[in-house]
Structure 1
Amino acid sequence: MEQIRDLQKLIKLTGDRAKLDAKANGTYIVYKTNEGRIVKEFSNGEIIPIKQQDHPYE
């Protein structure tokens, strides 16, 4: 169980670092929500859902 907690901590730290990098570079992060939607999150807190046609290379 300790390995799972360590992995969860690393995942959280990676997400936090991605948010810091996005803020420093004026970009956004992309992730999948608990509801299964893919969204863009900007450093100002704005969250925009991505529609299927927004990412044709998937």
Structure 2
Amino acid sequence: MKLIQDVHKLIKLTGERAKLDAKANGTYIVYKTEKGQIVKEYANGQVELI
């Protein structure tokens, strides 16, 4: 069970790091939501469906 928790933590940290990098470089991140939608999220918080 500890391994699964560690993997979830790493995934979360990776996403947070991607958001910081996108903000620093004026870009966006792309990810899949829980509902299965692919979205672009800009540094200003704007979310755009692809």
**TM-score clears 0.5:** yes
Count of residues paired in the alignment = 50
Structure 2 residue runs without a partner (length 5+): none
**TM-score normalised by structure 2 residue count:** 0.98
Aligned runs of 1:26-41 on 2, under 5 Å? Answer: 26-41=26-41
Higher relative contact order (CA 8 A, sep 6+): 2
Percent identity between the aligned chains? 70
CA-based RMSD = 0.3
Structure 1 residue runs without a partner (length 5+): 51-58
Does residue 13 (structure 1) correspond to residue 13 (structure 2)? The answer is yes
Secondary structure at 2:48 match in 1: strand
Does residue 45 (structure 1) correspond to residue 38 (structure 2)? The answer is no
1:48 CA displacement: 0.1
Report the residue type matching 1:33 in the other structure. Answer: T
Which protein is bigger by CA-based radius of gyration? 1
**TM-score normalised by structure 1 residue count:** 0.85
Return structure 1 stretches of 4+ with deviation > 4 angstroms.
none
